[in-house]
Amino acid sequence: VVRKMTMESRMTLCNMAIEAGGTSGICMPDRVTVNYLWPFISSGYADKKAALNDFKKWWSDKGCSYVKVIDIDVTGMEPQVTSGYKPDEVKGVSEMAGTRVDQIYIGSCTNGRLEDLKIAAQYLKGRTIDPSVRGIVSPATPKIFREADKLGIIRIFMDAGFCVTNPTCGACLGMSSGVLAPGEVCASTTNRNFNGRMGRGGMVHLMSPAVAAVTALEGKIADPRNFRKEKLK
């Protein structure tokens, strides 16, 4: 599965490995890694093949042994949503569907990359969010903000009723731009849902950009598999 992931998805996977209690999260470097890093490392290698050969030094040694190997079959696994105050307290979206929310927050270092914004925009294009909720999107970096704006994605969010902020940690840690009031519930693509994380007395349900987007449309947690995605330019 990891071999088929984009670099953006691998970054999210490694990020959440730590939030789930791991001391590190590592994906083996491969051609996807080299292609992503090439604009930054090209001066140090003759070509991409040379870079990949160099990166192999980070691979596991042949014949190495592990204390424990855990294989996880994700075939048929539905989108996951947190239900408590820990990132690993999750339930399937079908079980969480219908849960009321007051705010939807799409962005952060975890799910605010261009790939994430594109996914959410595919569900939001031509639609508007439920009037009972607030929608906030925070691109992860200025570069991503500019790229999203160039592709018309920022316009899609704004037309749908989202407030677009500057790249910031903002609401994720209860600092600004979407701090929850006591009793409010937020559907968030961030990585932490600790008690009081986004505001004292607030509740945070972590989810993917796709789930967050359709939740904004419904005003309650919803399953993206029941919605049509629109093509982006």
User: Exposed, middle or buried by CB within 10 Å (0-12, 13-18, 19+), for 61?
Assistant: exposed
User: Exposed, middle or buried by CB within 10 Å (0-12, 13-18, 19+), for 66?
Assistant: exposed
Cα–Cα distance, 118 to 98 (Å, whole number): 25
CB atoms within 10 A of CB 90: 19
Tokens coding 74: 């994700």
Q: Over range 22-38, report the average pLDDT.
A: 94
Contact 167, 148 (CB under 8 A): no
DSSP label of 190: S
Q: Over range 18-31, report the average pLDDT.
A: 91
Q: Could you report the per-residue pLDDT of 99-124, keeping only the tens digit for each? A: 999 999 999 988 999 999 999 999 99
Walk me through the domains of the chain, giving residue ranges and CATH numbers.
2-58 (no CATH), 80-226 (3.30.499.10)
Q: Could you report the per-residue pLDDT of 33-58, keeping only the tens digit for each? A: 999 999 999 999 999 999 999 999 99
pLDDT for 1: 83
Q: Tell me how far CA of residue 51 lies from CA of 47, 55, 61, 110, 136, in angstroms.
A: 7, 6, 18, 27, 39
Q: Could you report the per-residue pLDDT of 47-87, keeping only the tens digit for each? A: 999 999 999 999 999 999 999 999 989 888 999 999 999 99
Type and span of the H or E element at 82: strand 80-82
At a CB cut-off of 8 Å and minimum separation 6, what does 131 contact? 219
Percent pLDDT > 90 in the chain is 87
